[in-house]
Amino acid sequence: MTSVDIIIVAAGSGLRYGAPLPKQYCELGGRPVVMHTINALRAAIPHARLTLVISSEMADLWQDFCLKHNFVSPAVVYGGSTRWESVRNALSAADRPADIVMVHDAVRPLVSRQLVDMLMDALSSDPDVDGAIPAVAVTDSLRMQLGDGLSKSIDRSSMRAVQTPQAFRGYRLRQAYDLPYRDSFTDDASVMEAAGFGNLKLTEGSSHNIKITNPGDIAIAEVLMKLNKEQ
């Protein structure tokens, strides 16, 4: 059986969300967002080894939430000041990387088994693929800002909006995270590319796989959860 590690990144402060707590701890359907995320990934790959990366300042709060909701936490690793550092800490905590390592945002609680299966299929069907990334077509018109208030249009037909989880060959992802930090590391795929592992396959993302970022996103997630249950 292919071994799988899943790193769930939940160490962010969530300042843009504007809530008293980081958004991953805000209530969705009666429990914190991150608990829905963990359960969705456990259901998608039951044999996977999960690691939850949280801020050390939130350790007691997370323990309290787990007790309150009778929830079994995955192994916990403390994050750093950047997402890159948080993922690196999780990779370093493992004695060795699994065959496949997925990295997922804690604030995408509606990830589906179908989406995860497509990532696994992309890696298992082609040994030359370094990683697989879910993405959706861009529907808004795009313009590039040129400065002084000027801009130009961009053809959106070749553009894709990237989601998580992103899945990679475990040993290659670990090698990639040996690189020093760069500001251009916006996600794990960008780290892989910088390390020379650029054979990254796009798989079909989902419009339901939203990232809770702004006020109002919790309400949208609740509607989508209801729709998913009715289907």
Distance set, CA 58 to CA 18, 62, 107, 177, 228 (Å): 17, 6, 16, 25, 30
The C-alpha angle with vertex 109 and arms to 106 and 3, in degrees rounded to 5, equals: 70
**Can you give the pLDDT at residue 12?**
82
| Amino acid at site 132 | A
Decide if 164 contacts 201 (C-beta within 8 A): no
Q: What does pLDDT average to in each consecutive run of 10 residues of the chain (231 residues)? A: 96 67 93 98 98 96 97 97 96 92 98 98 96 95 88 91 97 96 95 97 96 91 88 68
Phi, psi of 213, deg, nearest 5: -125, -40
**Can you give the pLDDT at residue 96?**
83
Contacts 24+ apart (CB under 8 A), 32-35: 32/65, 32/69, 33/106, 33/107, 33/109, 33/212, 33/218, 33/221, 34/8, 34/10, 34/106, 34/107, 34/109, 35/65, 35/69, 35/71
**Can you give the pLDDT at residue 17?**
53
**Can you give the pLDDT at residue 130?**
98
Decide if 34 contacts 50 (C-beta within 8 A): no
Decide if 45 contacts 115 (C-beta within 8 A): no
> What is the distance between the alpha carbons of residues 89 and 81, in angstroms, rounded to a whole number?
11
| Residue that has been written with the tokens 């829905």 in this structure | 36
Residue 168, helix vs strand vs coil? strand
> What is the distance between the alpha carbons of residues 41 and 17, in angstroms, rounded to a whole number?
24
